[in-house]
């Protein structure tokens, strides 16, 4: 699919969406509360985004046939979640991309799926990605989102989130959620800017219990 180049100045998370913050080492389910953004509160994302003003940064939508492009970044995300998890670091760290890829293929064939990829000019490896899905019941999820460490702080994550939510609206999502790994407080604060608030916790029994 065609890339969009801006020329101005400049999962796994589960639960009925994608990140992880539950007591006991489970995941936290964040549900969108649109009013928080619509009323223009301080939780609403800023309209100023350096990433969309930088001609060196290219946002591209890719198909399922190119999903392997996100593998290196997904593996970094997985290790990041493992490092943050106080209860299940080894279990998370042992995850591999192959079963996650099969899961996304299944979601893409049974519902709808969108993959956004971010590249920086003259760099071969992608800088960030976002996977969004819609179920047959019109439940939308930001399944997986990661920005490589060297490209954070300039609005790439915010732009990917905005694109995901706009796409979910366009395909008729009746609700939206994200699962965040327990311990990833930064992700919870980030998604709160888009109206996502904790609604439920998923608890997993530890093998050490």
Spatial contact of 99 and 107, defined as CB atoms under 8 Å apart: no
- Cα 72 to chain centroid distance, Å, stands at 15
List the chain residues with pLDDT less than 70: 1-27, 33-48, 208-209
Instruction: State percent of the chain over pLDDT 70.
Output: 78
Give the per-residue pLDDT at 12.
Answer: 32
**Of 194, 180, 205, the residue nearest 34 (C-alpha):** 194
Fold classification of 3-202 (topology level) = Aminopeptidase (3.40.630)
Question: Look-up: residue for tokens 């790439």?
Answer: 156
pLDDT of residue 206: 84
What's residue 33's pLDDT?
Answer: 62
pLDDT of residue 162: 97
Per DSSP, what are the bridge partners of residue 177? Answer: 31, 141
pLDDT at residue 29, as a whole number: 75
- Domain ranges in the chain are 3-202
∠ CA 27-156-69, nearest 5°, is 75
Q: What is the pLDDT of residue 27?
A: 67
């Amino acid at each position: 699919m065609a890339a969009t180049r801006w020329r101005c100045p400049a999962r796994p998370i589960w639960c009925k969406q994608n990140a992880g913050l539950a007591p006991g080492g489970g995941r936290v389910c964040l549900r969108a509360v649109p009013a928080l953004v619509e009323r223009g509160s301080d939780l609403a994302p800023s309209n100023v985004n350096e990433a969309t003003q930088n001609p060196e940064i290219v946002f591209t939508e890719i198909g399922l046939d190119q999903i392997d492009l996100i593998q290196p970044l997904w593996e970094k995300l997985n290790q990041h979640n493992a490092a943050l998890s106080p209860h299940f670091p080894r279990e998370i760290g042992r995850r591999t991309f192959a079963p996650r890829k099969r899961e996304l293929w299944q979601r893409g064939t049974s519902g709808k799926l969108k993959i956004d990829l971010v590249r920086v000019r003259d760099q071969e490896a992608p800088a960030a990605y976002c996977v969004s899905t819609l179920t047959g019941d019109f439940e939308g999820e930001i399944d997986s989102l990661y920005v490589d460490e060297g490209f954070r702080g300039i609005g790439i994550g915010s732009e990917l989130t905005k694109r995901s939510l706009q796409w979910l609206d366009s395909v008729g999502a009746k609700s939206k959620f994200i699962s965040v790994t327990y311990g990833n407080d930064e992700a919870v604060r980030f998604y709160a800017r888009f109206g996502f608030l904790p609604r439920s916790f998923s608890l997993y029994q530890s093998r050490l219990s």
